Amino acid sequence: MNADLAIDVRDLVKSFAHKRVVNQVSLQVKRGEIFGFLGPNGSGKTTTIRMMCGLLTPDSGSGTCLGYDILHQSAHIKRHVGYMTQKFSYWEDLTLRENLDFVARMYTMDNRRHAVDEALEGLGLTERANQLVGALSGGWKQRLALAACMLHQPELLLLDEPTAGVDPAARRDFWEELHQLARKGISVLVSTHYMDEAERCHKLAYIFNGTLLAQGTSHEVVAAQKLTTWTIYGEHMAELSERLQRMDGVEQTVLFGTVLHVSGTRPELLERQVRAAVQGTSFRLEQSETGLEDVFIFMMKHAGRDGAPLA
């Protein structure tokens, strides 16, 4: 066991109704690290997180969370971990204060009143403390949930899509806060579908169909796929994209509105092909860095085709 690791799980496996939902997942999260957990819908992120905090028993595999065994010491884990569920899971027919107070009581906190007041202040919701939670907007519910799961000052936060449905400004504030917490030594594992959030994590893992396809810093994850990418600017590129896709050496095209990313693993061949394709058109061509999104799409396609994980 490594004392530097907040999460250290090995070969987690979980099946529901004979379908493998999590397949041999191993994850290591260092203390004080913000770890991004990415993957398409239904890939097994929530299931993995639930196994890490002792809510779900894995079919096989083992591991520790804050040094406690995930199989036998879930009571200790619960005490020191803050888990924010993907679906809002506080009581809508209780007021904000009642909700926070209830959470504080569940953790049998000594300075309950003080902690609740502080949390409300931190949210800027002191005046609305006696409003029913059901009356809050989606984004505010999300922020309340975050405040509530941090109330007992956990050493590790497991956040399942905490910013889904939160406006950009609030999202920025939220990430500022996460980094502040990380500086204080709190570890965070956060699942997300936003690429800009993925870029802000110290480390990343990408899971697809229950299998972890990559793990490391975003640089490492991108570099591991050895992709070269060219960007084409212009309008109405759907036809161009289709043409490129049929060419040798072009392994992937991704269209983002007026920007087309063309990627491949053979740099010279790719360059020749894209140059030929834009020859005599008004499209502008530029070599660019391969982004996380290009890599995720690439990994997903390959895993789907080969049925086996890369890396």
Ligand X SMILES: Nc1ncnc2c1ncn2[C@@H]1O[C@H](COP(=O)(O)OP(=O)(O)OP(=O)(O)O)[C@@H](O)[C@H]1O
Among 27, 29, 51, 53, binds other proteins (CB under 8 A): 53
Q: CB 257 → other proteins: shortest distance, Å? A: 36
- Token pair listed for 149: 């799961």
Q: CB of 276 within 8 A of CB of 282?
A: no
- Per CB under 6 A, residues contacting ligand X are 16-17, 21, 39, 41-47, 86
Dihedral Cα 187, 190, 194, 198, nearest 10 deg? 40
For 98, the 3-state DSSP assignment is helix
Q: Nearer to Mg ion by C-beta: 46 or 218?
A: 46
In sequence order, what DSSP letters do the residues of 278-291 get, joined into one string? HTTSS-EEEEEPPP
Among 17, 19, 93, 239, binds other proteins (CB under 8 A): 93
- Per CB under 5 A, residues contacting Mg ion are 45-46, 86
Residues in a beta bridge with 54: none
Longest distance between any two alpha carbons in the chain, whole Å: 74
Q: Is 85 in the site for other proteins (CB under 8 A)?
A: yes
* Stretch of 87-95, 170-178, 271-279, 280-288 contacting other proteins, by CB under 8 A: 87-95
| String marking each residue 191-210 x if it binds other proteins according to CB under 8 A | --------------------
Q: CB 114 → other proteins: shortest distance, Å? A: 17
Number of helices (H) and strands (E) in the chain: give both, helices first: 11, 14
Q: CB 145 → other proteins: shortest distance, Å? A: 9
Find which of ligand X, other proteins, Mg ion, none residue 235 binds, CB within 5 to 8 Å per kind: none
Q: How far does CA 176 lie from the centroid of its chain?
A: 16
Burial of 237 (0-12, 13-18, 19+ CB in 10 A): buried
Binding site residues, other proteins, CB under 8 A: 53, 55, 75, 78-79, 81, 83, 85, 87-94, 98, 102-103, 105-108, 132
